[in-house]
Structure 1
Amino acid sequence: MLENRSCWCRPLPLPPFSPLVAALPETVPFVGPEALERRSGITIRARLGANESGFGPSPRVIAALSEAGADAWRYPDPENHDLRYALGAHLGIPAHAVMPGEGIDGLLSLAVRLFIAPGDVVVTSLGAYPTFNYHVTGFGGVLQFVPYAGHHEDLDQLAAEVRRSKARMVYLANPDNPMGSHWPAPAIAAFIASVPEGCIILLDEAYGETAPDGTLPAIDLDQPNLIRFRTFSKAYGLAGMRLGYAFGHPTLIGGFNRVRNHFGITRPGQAAAIAALGDRPYLESAIAAIGRSRESIAAIARANGLEALPSATNFVTIDCGGDGDFAARVLAELAQRAVFIRKPMAPGLDRHIRVSAAPDAELELFADALPQALRAAYEPG
């Protein structure tokens, strides 16, 4: 009978990661409400931190998901044919100029993979969307940051930094997250024209549906270095489905087929997106509800002596009137009261908190908790 000698053996050496990956930390760009609940044992009652839509998706989407569920045993169409044609019709452009993907996050990762080699310079704003930075470092890019100009991303300085650093890529969100500000279409068009053609422009329009008229530039598929991104996560109420799309010059968009996960969008996801596009009245009602919610959040801020910034998004950024440490205490105190929000982290922006639009019941919880959180934050300990 053989002896069990497993306890005598030395552990086998683990295979090494690539040098690039070995130098990266294990990280998740966002702390989710689920993680807060696990850590604190407090059940979140007002989910106001992730810019989801508590107003939910169209009833047509719910029906489409129910119907598609019976066919979940089938692989999805790897070409996303029907969805691409629906998106093309929605935008008024050919289907081959559109690429659906697993939310804007997944598409940003693919765009960085397509164009950024280790050592290439990528320009973005200091405090802008952190998941983009995560993808750049993951593929070996070198980030160069441009500070905000007040509450806006600084278009002139972004373009100047691209020219100075000979950047391969620049990222801009309009409307902006985390400040909720926006630039009108002529300013964005001037920015695009000022960026050298050798630099890829990633224009994130996740909040385009909730922005004022005249925010989004006209679509120009002949622009050789521009990729625009939009999502179903915000106004359409489908954040949990992970659905977004990119569009631009057909040659750039065709590049995604070189690297994408061809089964990345599920069969129910494709059906949900097509149904969402087909219910314009519901989208308009959701946008109106978001607008009313923004007004309510601003009123709550004013009632507590705080300044709410103008918003073109589905959230409102609030100046807490102190420094970043004070705003962090407000955020923590709200979490203790079962209200989940987030805040900007970059210097100069970190004195703010950010509150997502939501139905009245959740905003009432926020209105009750905010004055308590402010008092506790003023008197820590």
Structure 2
Amino acid sequence: MQRRTMLRQAALTMAAFTLSRDLFAREAFNDPGPLPVEEMIRLGSNENPHGPSPLARKAMMDAVNTSNRYPWSTTSALIDKIAGMYGLKAENVVIGAGSSELLGLTAVLAALQKGNAVIPDPSFRLWVPAARNLGLEMRTVPLNQAKQIDLAAMKGKTDTQTRLIYICNPNNPTGTVIPAPELEAYIRQIPASCIVLLDEAYTEFSNEPSLARLVNECPNLVVAKTFSKMYALAGGRVGFALAHPQTIEKLKNLQPWANAGAGAVSLAGALASLGDEEFVRFCKKENTAARAVFCAALDKAGMTYIPSVTSFVYFNTAGYGRDVKALLESHNITGVRSFEEGSTWRRLSVGTVAEMEKVAAVLKS
């Protein structure tokens, strides 16, 4: 009975994808969480509010039936697909449990050489504790006045003992992006003894290209990417890193076995996601529309913000006169977060258009 129900749900999901945009958003991508969570609007972790693509959902349900077996073939197929997308080879790719695992492994690899890491502040820092615990000194570089990563200042913090330079582009939490030509020029001047860890978790939301094409020319470059954001598999925990084959081998040697992190069901979903280009176009279009709704609400509320190319917005609550976090939470909207101590700047993820309209209504009230 349960299997018949699951198959029926899959069929309904696939059918919904062909309908109008509003019905598509309403039926195909509803959050399947428990009732108490459904009553909340969760905007704290930059999750894709539309859920996995229809093709990914079907692939994952099918994969449950064979998840008693190790997913060797699915892993290989996913690696080949990723390599082809970026004009690389299978030996340029390693799979992990989300990009967070691979960010951490890259930081550990750098820490084993002893020295320091140069990182912008604020930026994504989940990987930092593991590297610091292994003795890697963290040198933070404040963003410039426009809340952009200051490459010149980062260069000034770099010395012969720098083993890792971390750049999140577009940057989390500010949503700013470094143009590809400028970032490429910076990467090319970094000594081979220093790993450049480029976190491209949100590239798909922007119009900037990935710099993965550089990994064979720049053996010290590691590009980390994820299925958590655009592809809506945050709970599936699938990510990948692109690098020179020698660097990939070093990262694999830090795993229990090569590409060990992701499970069969998640891998199947990730592979199917890469074939669902219509879903990606839909999510990018909806994110742009929903972000515009929120930015318009910030304008009306008199709050400044950083123009974003991502699925979140960094905004300044100074002068609003109310506690934005408490106000939204009183209306069951969670997710306002602070990333700078003593600052009035906050980040909020972008949900659906309907969710951001609710946010706008609360801010207006």
Category of TM-score, reference length = shorter chain: 0.7 to 0.9
Q: Which residue matches 1:130?
A: 125
Letter of the 1:276 counterpart: S
- Alignment pair present for 1:365 and 2:358: yes
Within 5 Å, give how 1:125-204 maps onto structure 2.
Answer: 125-150=120-145, 151-163=147-159, 166-204=161-199
Q: Which residue matches 1:378?
A: none
Within 5 Å, give how 1:196-345 maps onto structure 2.
Answer: 196-213=191-208, 215-217=209-211, 219-220=213-214, 221-262=216-257, 263-322=260-319, 329-345=323-339
Q: Which residue matches 1:31?
A: none
State the 1:77 CA deviation: 2.2
State the 1:105 CA deviation: 0.7
Helix, strand or coil at the partner of 1:130: coil
CA gap of 1:42–1:275, structure 2 versus 1, over 3 A, is: closer
State the 1:72 CA deviation: 2.1
Helix, strand or coil at the partner of 1:170: strand
Rg (Cα) greater in structure: 1
Identity of aligned residues (%): 30
- Alignment pair present for 1:62 and 2:57: yes
CA gap of 1:65–1:92, structure 2 versus 1, over 3 A, is: same
CA gap of 1:322–1:237, structure 2 versus 1, over 3 A, is: same
State the 1:339 CA deviation: 1.0
Letter of the 1:332 counterpart: A
State the 1:371 CA deviation: 4.2
Contact 1:43 1:338 in 2 (8 A): no
Letter of the 2:53 counterpart: S
Structure 1 alignment gaps of length 5 or more: 1-40, 373-381
Letter of the 2:154 counterpart: L
State the 1:43 CA deviation: 7.9
State the 1:190 CA deviation: 1.7
Q: 2:347 aligns with which of 345, 349, 354?
A: 354
Distance in 2 (alpha carbons) for counterparts of 1:218 and 1:100? 15
Cα deviation code 1:58-86 (max 9, x no counterpart): 10001001100111222332992111111
Helix, strand or coil at the partner of 2:100: helix
Deviates more, 1:220-229 or 1:59-68: 220-229
Contact 1:236 1:283 in 2 (8 A): yes
Aligned length: 327
State the 1:42 CA deviation: 9.3
State the 1:291 CA deviation: 1.0
Contact 1:202 1:229 in 2 (8 A): yes
Contact 1:337 1:369 in 2 (8 A): yes
Q: 1:105 aligns with which of 73, 96, 100?
A: 100
Helix, strand or coil at the partner of 1:289: helix
Contact 1:112 1:139 in 2 (8 A): no
Displaced runs of 4+ in structure 1, greater than 4 A?
41-44
Letter of the 2:75 counterpart: N
Q: Which residue matches 1:32?
A: none
CA gap of 1:260–1:283, structure 2 versus 1, over 3 A, is: same
Letter of the 2:333 counterpart: V
Contact 1:55 1:237 in 2 (8 A): yes
CA gap of 1:54–1:79, structure 2 versus 1, over 3 A, is: closer
Helix, strand or coil at the partner of 1:241: coil
Deviates more, 1:330-339 or 1:310-319: 330-339
Distance in 1 (alpha carbons) for counterparts of 2:189 and 2:72? 39
Helix, strand or coil at the partner of 1:183: coil
State the 1:198 CA deviation: 1.0
Cα deviation code 1:4-43 (max 9, x no counterpart): xxxxxxxxxxxxxxxxxxxxxxxxxxxxxxxxxxxxx998
